[in-house]
Amino acid sequence: MALFSGLGNYKNFGLLVIRVGLGIMFIYHGYPKLGGGPKMWGELGSSTKYVGIHFWPVVWGLLSAAVETFGGFLLIIGLAFRPVCLLLLINLLVAAAMHFGKGDGLEGAAHAIEDAIVFAGLLFVGPGRNSVDKK
């Protein structure tokens, strides 16, 4: 369609929109978990049992909350972009496994799977020109 043919010139702006939007949402969801303390971290970290990890749930929960919160900020500015995408991808795979393990099925795991696919793709694409990591 001729109307949208010129939008290909704005790929870097599109990546910025994706980074900022996802970053804000991950901060929004991660910050309360980070501030929830050891009880919440333990509950969050117990999700690792669905991928065969049964030790240190509080540590895994704290790390998960930190990745969501600080990873969201790093996404926005585009710093350490690919490592952050990898950590968030792992976080989301564990979340999807937890939903399947609890019996929520694809309906329950869909959001985590969708975000995991986005981060898997962003690993290859990179942050774009409008980032601290620009090349």
105 inside domain? yes
What's the domain range around 26?
Answer: 14-125
3 inside domain? no
Query: Mean pLDDT, to the nearest integer, of 89-99?
Result: 98
pLDDT score of 64: 98
99 inside domain? yes
7 inside domain? no
DSSP 3-state of 32: helix
User: Which tens digits make up the pLDDT trace of 59-79?
Assistant: 999 999 999 999 999 999 999
Q: What's the whole-number average pLDDT of the chain? A: 95
Total domain count, the chain:
1
Residue 129 DSSP code: S
User: Which tens digits make up the pLDDT trace of 11-36?
Assistant: 999 999 999 999 999 999 999 999 99
Distance CA 100, CA 102 (A): 5
pLDDT score of 70: 98
1 inside domain? no
2 inside domain? no
30 inside domain? yes
Q: Smallest Cα–Cα separation from 63: which of 98, 33, 89?
A: 33
Q: Smallest Cα–Cα separation from 131: which of 11, 31, 30?
A: 11
Which residue blocks in 5-135 are alpha helix, DSSP H? 11-34, 37-45, 57-77, 81-101, 105-125
Q: Smallest Cα–Cα separation from 88: which of 19, 134, 38?
A: 19
5 inside domain? no
Q: Smallest Cα–Cα separation from 131: which of 30, 23, 39, 6?
A: 23
Query: Mean pLDDT, to the nearest integer, of 41-67?
Result: 97
